[in-house]
Amino acid sequence: MELRTPIMLITGGLGSGKTTLLRRILGEARRRLAILINEFGEMTIDSRIIEGRNVRIVEISGGCVCCSLTNEFETAVREVVERIRPEGILVEATGAVETDSLVFRVQETLPEVRLDSVICVVDAYLSSRHPYVGYAARTQLQSADIILVNKIDLVTTQEVREVEAQIRRWNNTAFFFKTVGCDVDLKLLFGLDMERRTMVQSCRGEPSFQSFSYATEAPLDERMFRQMLPTLPASVFRAKGLIRFETESFLFNYVVGRADFESFPAERTHLVFIGRELERDRDSILRQLSSCEMSHAF
């Protein structure tokens, strides 16, 4: 069974740190990724160039590729999926992009992919000096699941607080990371290998990340499980894994309130939950999950 390719959108103003984040991801990549950008710019790397119909592809060591759009977005994404078959796609959007429109296009016109997450990189220094938020920047903030408040080494602690308060006026549900050079733990962005990392070290005074798993041989009641999702506490950042209902099973992905189900064979349910200070909500979440088990429902 061929699964949809996860796609991550990276937005933010010019010079905020989007390319720095992409470089970090490439440097630590353990999967075959495709990075889709409008132009190579400082991402150019000496390597073999492949001219596609709608993208200009640069192969990079480690199996990753960079792809520069030469045609419309949807056509380019389809070609990347067909020709490269990456395990994930990262899109660096221009600073002027209206992210809500881009999210809509991914979700409604590209059945070959699934939206994994939307990341917005904010320049703390520039935001503290010029707090006005234009329309494009506002859509980037409002659509984000994850917000990196970057370049905090260039501002005071009080200015960081003011920038965060300003951002929260537009988005109070996203997960915030305060960074220097976009130095966020990439395993948190992708939700990888978290079951083996029960505690993620906090940094810059932020609460620690924790994780726990849930597994059962009993099928879950689909209606009860779907009704439970909106009630998950704000401490839950990500959840992923396999889930088996009475008549069908799925690959399940959850990021800051957005859930995705993709048909996938599974004999049992096995989910991993990731979040900040998650230990305080662990027992109640496990009770809710247990109540969804069909053997307990009747």
* For the chain, domain boundaries: 5-190, 194-297
Strand (E) or helix (H) holding 159:
helix 157-168
CA–CA dist 187, 194 (Å, integer): 7
Q: Same topology for domains 5-190 and 194-297, yes or no?
A: no
Q: Which CATH architecture has domain 194-297?
A: 2-Layer Sandwich (3.30)
Sheet holding 199-200, edge to edge: 199-200, 209-216, 269-276, 236-244, 249-255, 258-263
| CATH 3.40.50.2300 fits domain 5-190 | no
pLDDT of res. 27: 76
pLDDT of res. 3: 87
pLDDT of res. 220: 97
pLDDT of res. 205: 62
Report residue 249 as tokens. Answer: 């099973």
In contact, 74 and 104? CB cutoff 8 Å:
no
**144 to 2, 136, 191, 216: CA distances (angstroms):** 28, 13, 16, 33
CB atoms within 10 A of CB 286: 14
Q: Characterize 48-64 residue by residue with b for buried, 16 or more Cβ atoms within 10 angstroms of its Cβ, and e for exposed.
A: eeeebebbbbbebeeeb
pLDDT of res. 136: 84
CA–CA dist 90, 287 (Å, integer): 36
Positions of the chain with pLDDT lower than 50, given as ranges: 40-55, 58-62, 194-199, 201, 296-298
pLDDT of res. 77: 86
